[in-house]
Amino acid sequence: MKSTNRTAATAREHDPREGPPSFALKAALLSALLVESAGFCALLIFSVAITPAAGLPGLFHYVSATWGDGLALPAMTGALVYGIARLPRAPWERAAGATAALVGIALGAATQVQWLRDDAPHLNWTLPRPHHFNAAGVYHAVFLTVMSGLTAALWVFLLLRIARVGRTHRKAPLLAAGTALAAALVFTVLLAIDSLPSRATGASTATVTATALGAALLIGLLAWTALRVHRSRAQR
């Protein structure tokens, strides 16, 4: 009897349909730490090294750059990585993830190009004059573009994997997806708050438009995943 129980426990531990929780947690914490370091911590160092011109808003003027990059973005990334690590690969996920990453990169880059093209943008400590990013601005533009692509790919990976697995293996990934979605909503709200003072500028409009497009694509993917999950339950 003991041997049978031990065999069953071992089978559960090595079930290929579900990744080890310990590995998933470590991967999630590491990814969140990397995003925190590359995002908020790096900008904090730039803000100490760069003295903005008088009257220009600095880093802590923007809630999306502080609470967003410092808390919401790492939390979302960590949750996505955790959910992905708990599930097996889905067919065609690499192609779908690469496509999503390209779309995300294109949207992110488009916003930064528009900030540079705008003749009358809302100036700040990274954009001290029109058509000119300083070192912090260039770094932030690259970080934003890369994170846009990475976030899009991670969402695709997680939702494709959730849609593929059986009901009993969705609990932890669904909780991770819910956490990531909550963090994404918080970040979107913070970004909207920062965009309100400059909503009349072309650069701010581009940021809001890109965010809206990204949100619409995510909502569509969430709806598709929910439909797949519902169909799989109905077939059981």
Per DSSP, 120 falls in state: S
Rounded Cα–Cα distance for residues 37 and 51 (Å): 21
**Residue 182 maps to a domain:** yes
N-terminal to C-terminal alpha carbon distance within the chain: 31
Rounded Cα–Cα distance for residues 73 and 197 (Å): 22
**Residue 218 maps to a domain:** yes
**Residue 7 maps to a domain:** no
Q: What's the pTM value of the predicted model, to 2 decimals?
A: 0.85
**Residue 60 maps to a domain:** yes
**Residue 9 maps to a domain:** no
| pLDDT score for 19 | 59
Number of neighbours of residue 69 by Cβ within 10 angstroms? 28
Q: Structurally, how many domains does the chain consist of?
A: 1
As to burial, measured by CB atoms within 10 angstroms (0-12 exposed, 13-18 middle, 19+ buried), residue 120 is: exposed
**Residue 82 maps to a domain:** yes
Place of tokens 């932890």: 172
**Residue 226 maps to a domain:** yes
**Residue 13 maps to a domain:** no
| pLDDT score for 3 | 47
| pLDDT score for 235 | 56
**Which residue range is the domain that position 83 belongs to?**
19-234
| pLDDT score for 2 | 45
Average pLDDT per 10 consecutive residues for the chain, totaling 236 residues = 45 48 93 98 95 87 96 98 94 92 94 91 92 96 97 95 76 92 95 76 76 85 78 59
| pLDDT score for 16 | 44
Asked if residues 110 and 144 have their Cβ atoms less than 8 Å apart, the reply is no
